[in-house]
Amino acid sequence: MAAGGFLDRVWRLGPLLAGATAVLLLVTGVLIVYSGEESYRREKIDEVEVEARILASTVIAALTFDDRNAAQTYVGALDVNPEIEAAAVYDANGQPFAIYRRAEALSVPAPAPDLGSSYGDDRITVTTPVTQGVSLPLGRVYVRAVLEPLSRRYERYGVIALLVVMAGLVTAVLAIAQSTLSRSNRELSQANRRAGSADRRARKGGGGLAPGAKDGGDRPDDRPRRARFQQHPAGCPRQP
Amino acid sequence: MPGRRAAVRRQAAWAAVLPFLLCPAATWAQDGSLELAIKATYLVKFAAFVEWPANMFETPSSPLTICLVGTPFSGVADQAAAGQAAGQHPLAVRHVAAATHGSGCHILFSAGAPGQSIAEALDAVRGEPVLTVTDLPAATPRKGIIDFVLQSGHVRFEIDDRAAAQEGLRISSQLLALAINVTPR
């Protein structure tokens, strides 16, 4: 009996649980998208930092021996990566030593920016030192990369969003169906109670079944109740 | 305190060399003394891009010795090397009257001396893992492993990587990439 009561309570809480599930799915979807964005950005920063460090280690000799042509060759090699928008090698005084720009309109900062990485305006910038050995500073390397356009990034999350919406729809439909069934059950239960009490009253008043009722006929006081049942949209089984 | 003094020395040495690196090489080359200063600075910097056999050093922190024979550098190389190191080896500059076999030099620059020509200096260290550096005209038949060249007003260099390999030296690909001419091993 206790288990039945618990199930009844759960059944009554069905719409609420379904709504909570839909909200949870939505929040989960948003968190997945946010987490994906964060990891994508972190991954891209790592990639650009690696490129900058490789360039920094490559231009050591060029900076040491003041060979701008060699430095220009090395920095120009970044052209193979379409995400790199601009890059520069700076000498120890912070002045540009070699510059790469994917388009003429682009520019690089001068003097050399502070060391570190930053993110903004769909671009990642990394500035890393160029050192000989452990401590001899030779200059800096600056690399700026463009992230994928926001629209293209969101396309990747489209599948997740679709799944979340579909799961939400299924949950909503189930919630509505459950709510409708609950209401019907309630009404049936009330009707049943009313019929039971009417039957008891009839037994008390008439002392038995009316003629013809024994062989399946209607009792006189059954007619209005039956008519009421027939009006009910969900229908109702004949009372015994 | 010793660490602080070393750091101050390193900074002072860097400050001495920095102006040479920051000025356009073309400007330096117009003045003979500046050209020599650049070459002296480069001579010191070669050390960081060359590997010697381990047995050329008594200990992992033994000094790397740059020997100068008849050098016209007049102290610039000493200034450039002060407080500098190649890996764990501090750089030391030694002015010698003549190159001799087994003298402990790791880099030898010879401009010729009254008692020893450049060719004789090169012969003296043949068979030893010594990075020989010269500043000779292009037509000279015998040069050091690295030879300075003036190209379009810039001080550049040629590298004989084959000779370096024969002497047991390994030159960094970064340095080889900067050479205007490399004799492959």
Span B147-181, pLDDT tens digits: 999 988 889 999 999 999 999 999 999 999 999 99
Across A120-124, A148-152, B64-68, the highest mean pLDDT is recorded for B64-68
Alpha-carbon separation of residue B181 from A195, B52, B138, B147, B171 (angstroms): 110, 22, 11, 10, 14
pLDDT, residue A225, reads 53
Neighbours of B151 (CB within 10 A): 13
B28 vs A contacts (CB less than 8 Å) = none
pLDDT, residue B25, reads 43
Summary mean pLDDT of chain B: 84
pLDDT, residue A213, reads 47
pLDDT, residue A226, reads 52
Calculate how close chain A gets to B20, using CA atoms only, in Å: 10
B120 touches chain A (CB under 8 A): no
Q: Give the single-character DSSP code of A232.
A: S
**Do B109 and B68 form a contact (C-beta atoms < 8 A)?**
yes
pLDDT, residue B159, reads 96
Residues of chain B above pLDDT 70, percent: 82
Calculate how close chain A gets to B42, using CA atoms only, in Å: 7
Q: In this complex, do B84 and A61 lie within 8 Å of one another by their Cβ atoms?
A: no
Please compute the mean of the pLDDT values over residues A49-62 and round it to a whole number: 93
**Do B113 and B95 form a contact (C-beta atoms < 8 A)?**
no
- Please say if the pLDDT value at position B47 is more than 60: yes
- Please say if the pLDDT value at position B116 is more than 60: yes
Decide which of A77 and A21 is more confident. A77
- Please say if the pLDDT value at position B48 is more than 80: yes
- Please say if the pLDDT value at position A116 is more than 50: yes
- Please say if the pLDDT value at position A19 is more than 90: no
Q: In this complex, do B178 and A67 lie within 8 Å of one another by their Cβ atoms?
A: yes
- Spatial CA neighbour of B27 closest among B151, B152, B153: B153
B87 vs A contacts (CB less than 8 Å) = 133
Least confident window among A85-99, A204-218, B113-127: A204-218
- Please say if the pLDDT value at position A220 is more than 60: no
DSSP string across A50-104: HHHHHHHHHSHHHHHTT-HHHHHHHHHGGGG-TTEEEEEEEETTS-EEEEEESST
Calculate how close chain A gets to B158, using CA atoms only, in Å: 13
Calculate how close chain A gets to B104, using CA atoms only, in Å: 24
Model confidence, pTM: 0.66
- In whole angstroms, how large is the CA radius of gyration of chain B? 16
Least confident window among A49-53, B8-12, B123-127: B8-12
How far apart, in whole angstroms, are the C-alpha atoms of residue B184 and residue B120? Answer: 24
B154 vs A contacts (CB less than 8 Å) = 66
Nearest CB among A61, A91, A136 relative to B178 is that of A61
Nearest CB among A65, A92, A93 relative to B42 is that of A65
Mutate to test the interface with B, among A58, A63, A65 (most CBs of B within 10 A): A65
Looking at chain A, the domain(s) classified CATH 3.30.450.20 span 36-148
**Do B118 and B76 form a contact (C-beta atoms < 8 A)?**
no
| A161: phi then psi, degrees, rounded to nearest 5 | -60, -40
pLDDT, residue A37, reads 83
Nearest CB among B14, B18, B178 relative to A62 is that of B178
- Please say if the pLDDT value at position A123 is more than 80: yes
Residue with tokens 């990587």: B161
Query: What are the residues facing B68 on neighbouring strands?
Result: B95, B109
How far apart, in whole angstroms, are the C-alpha atoms of residue A59 and residue B45? Answer: 14
How far apart, in whole angstroms, are the C-alpha atoms of residue A52 and residue A55? Answer: 5
Neighbours of A202 (CB within 10 A): 17
- Spatial CA neighbour of A168 closest among A18, A15, A35, A31: A18
- Please say if the pLDDT value at position A210 is more than 90: no
* Domain B2-183 belongs in CATH node 3.40.50: yes
How does residue B45 score in pLDDT terms, banded at 50, 70 and 90?
very high
Residue with tokens 């102290």: B75
- Please say if the pLDDT value at position A217 is more than 90: no
- Please say if the pLDDT value at position A198 is more than 50: yes
pLDDT, residue B14, reads 46
A135 vs B contacts (CB less than 8 Å) = 10
How does residue A216 score in pLDDT terms, banded at 50, 70 and 90?
very low
Residue of chain B minimizing CA distance to A67 = B178
CATH architecture of the domain A36-148 equals 2-Layer Sandwich (3.30)
Instruction: State the distance between the two ends of chain A, measured CA to CA, in whole angstroms.
Output: 25
**Do A88 and A108 form a contact (C-beta atoms < 8 A)?**
yes
How does residue A238 score in pLDDT terms, banded at 50, 70 and 90?
very low
- Please say if the pLDDT value at position A125 is more than 80: yes
Q: In this complex, do B18 and A92 lie within 8 Å of one another by their Cβ atoms?
A: yes
Least confident window among A35-39, A121-125, A162-166, B47-51: A162-166
How far apart, in whole angstroms, are the C-alpha atoms of residue A34 and residue A29? Answer: 9
Q: Give the single-character DSSP code of A237.
A: P
pLDDT, residue A4, reads 63
Sheet holding B146-151, edge to edge: B85-86, B89-96, B64-69, B107-110, B131-134, B146-151, B154-160, B181-183
Nearest CB among B48, B154, B156 relative to A132 is that of B48
pLDDT, residue A73, reads 92
In terms of DSSP H, where are the helices of A207-231? 222-231
Please compute the mean of the pLDDT values over residues A108-117 and round it to a whole number: 92
How far apart, in whole angstroms, are the C-alpha atoms of residue B172 and residue B159? Answer: 11
Interface of B with A in 38-57 (CB under 8 A): 38, 42, 45, 48-49
B172 touches chain A (CB under 8 A): yes
Helix/strand number for chain A, H first, E second: 7, 5
Conformational region of residue A220, where left means phi above 0, alpha means psi within -120 to 50, and beta covers everything else: alpha
